[in-house]
Structure 1
């Protein structure tokens, strides 16, 4: 995976479908990756670069900033979206 580089940083914008059996919603996630071995200069630039990215991409439900690949797993991101989305009224059954 390209994000396994500990000396890299990256931004991602992910589209996911959430909801229950009664309704589906499209949500977006802004991902900021900063590897554990990113140089001090790259770390310092991250906040200004992130501000520029956020000025272009303004519509997202969740922002994940991480250096842990486990936090980029589908189930983890979906769980974060559900937490940010508020109430889930689904029963698990659709009549």
Structure 2
């Protein structure tokens, strides 16, 4: 299964999903030594601002992100997004594996509200993702604004 069911990936996924852990993102990329396998290449608690610089133009990477936002002064929501990153300099043969590989990723990182397909850092602006999460989540007390 592309290595996505490794204990370290599963532990990082549980950490991102946990209300008791500060970890709010994880990143998967090609395993450094095993062909056609993915490995956990990072995780952290700094949100999209910390994650974005780790996305590389010559790699396919998968990020799982916990996003917290307020609907109004009284409530906050926690939602999850799956980012499928295909850097603009990824070779065609590598791009070709993304469809089947992402299916394996989605089996493990299975609880998310939206999928963000991205190839430029501008595709993963937090305000745009929150807007999409609000639309996906139903009630929106801010008229679609962040």
Question: What range describes the TM-score normalised by the shorter chain of this pair?
Answer: 0.7 to 0.9
Q: CA RMSD in A?
A: 1.7
The higher relative CO (CA closer than 8 Å, separation ≥ 6) is in 1
Name the stretch that deviates more: 30-39 or 19-28: 19-28
What count of residue pairs does the alignment treat as equivalent? 90
3-state SS of paired residue (2:77): strand
3-state SS of paired residue (1:71): helix
Structure 1 residues without counterparts, runs of 5 or longer: 91-95
3-state SS of paired residue (1:58): coil
Instruction: Name the structure 2 match of 1:26.
Output: 78
Q: Which runs of 4+ in 1 moved over 4 A?
A: none
Residues 1:89 and 2:141 aligned together? yes
Instruction: Name the structure 2 match of 1:93.
Output: none
Offset of 1:45 from its aligned partner?
Answer: 0.8
Instruction: Name the structure 1 match of 2:57.
Output: 6
- Deviations, residues 32-91 of structure 1 (Å, cap 9, x unaligned): 00011211111111111100000111110111011021121221211111121112236x
Q: For 1:45, which of 94, 97, 109 is the aligned residue?
A: 97
TM-score, normalised by the number of residues in structure 1: 0.83
TM-score, normalised by the number of residues in structure 2: 0.56
3-state SS of paired residue (1:36): coil
The answer as to whether partners of 1:70 and 1:76 remain within 8 angstroms in 2 is no
Offset of 1:6 from its aligned partner?
Answer: 2.1
Structure 2 residues without counterparts, runs of 5 or longer: 1-52
Name the stretch that deviates more: 19-28 or 32-41: 19-28
